[in-house]
Amino acid sequence: MSRLKSTWLSGLVVAGAMAWGLGAAAADPIRIGIANFGEHPQLNASIAGFKKALAENGFVEGKDVVYTESHTNFDASLVPQMIAKLQAEQPKLVYTITTPVSQIAKKALAGSGIPVVFSAVTDPVAAKLVPSWEAGDDGMTGATDLQDVAAVMAFTHKLLPNAKRFGVPYNPGEANDQALLDKIKEAAPDAGFEVVEVGVDNVNDIQQRIASFAGKADVIYTPASNLLQPAIGAVSAAARQAQIPIVNSDDGAVRDGVVPASFAVNYEQVGVNAGKIAAQILKGADPKTIAPSRPAYEDHAPLISKKAAAAFGIEVPAALATECNCVVD
């Protein structure tokens, strides 16, 4: 074989190897880190919705994108460690779920070049995740679970026509809870409600704090709180003992017959909203130019448990049952 031909063949082999390497690199899926606060139906639904939206936008799991999921079982002290582990994998994007996780991730990933998309955050402005409702921040934006408070109160009036005092347990240390309480207070006068608030900052105090609503509230509304929702069984037991019905922000507890009613945001849709934003960012959009999304009215739905309503001594108005088509056994 001539020296020229040998050189030419060697060049072909090298070029072919390089082309194969480039093709393999191009085929490598994008890595996304998912930082969850803990296992909970609402939060898990937001992950499912996130993946669904990305798949619909051309990022199919296992082919175009792979996920590393982690949570801290609602222990805030472990969040920095979780974020550090996810960052070490050099993801293209990190998806953070709940306000505490998103706040810690914002600080930990600042300047890293890794964009963050949040969800299950009630008020990202109050939580200092974004500067306003009209824009994202450097490297961060996302989807909120901000409920239509006026609609919650309108539903409550239909379920409990004689209710006038709206009890709200909340965690003073959680920005989500405080932001929602402020919005409830703002909406209450027009809705014909007086707000009665009780702070709960420890699960061990739930029985005592919920019992303190006795004689002061006609209904208890439990927000999408990272402290209260995982302990909704204890909240319900205390409220039932005090004979105060509950309208919850999560329909899972209604389906389980734990609380009488809910007017809830669809958390899968919150995740879908976040996934649509993530797809824009992965395609080159700057998070700063994307305003945080809010659930539309149609992203909310009422649900009533006949069994739990009876246990709380509630007779569901026939007109409401017909109108909402939302009563389950």
How far, in Å, CA of 303 to CA of 116, rounded? 33
pLDDT one-digit tens code per residue, 43-56? 999 999 999 999 99
Q: Over 70: is that where the pLDDT of 322 sits?
A: yes
Average pLDDT value for residue range 33-44 = 93
Q: Supply the pLDDT for residue 80.
A: 98
Closest CA to 125 of 140, 110, 112: 140
Average pLDDT value for residue range 186-192 = 95
Q: Supply the pLDDT for residue 231.
A: 94
Residue 167 C-beta-side C-alpha neighbours within 13 Å = 26
Average pLDDT value for residue range 277-298 = 94
Residue 315 contacts residue 260 (beta carbons within 8 Å): no
The strand pair at 116-121 and 140-144 is best described as parallel
How far, in Å, CA of 117 to CA of 34, rounded? 10
Q: Over 80: is that where the pLDDT of 16 sits?
A: no
pLDDT one-digit tens code per residue, 224-275? 888 999 999 999 999 999 999 999 998 989 999 999 999 988 899 999 999 9
Q: How much is the pTM?
A: 0.73
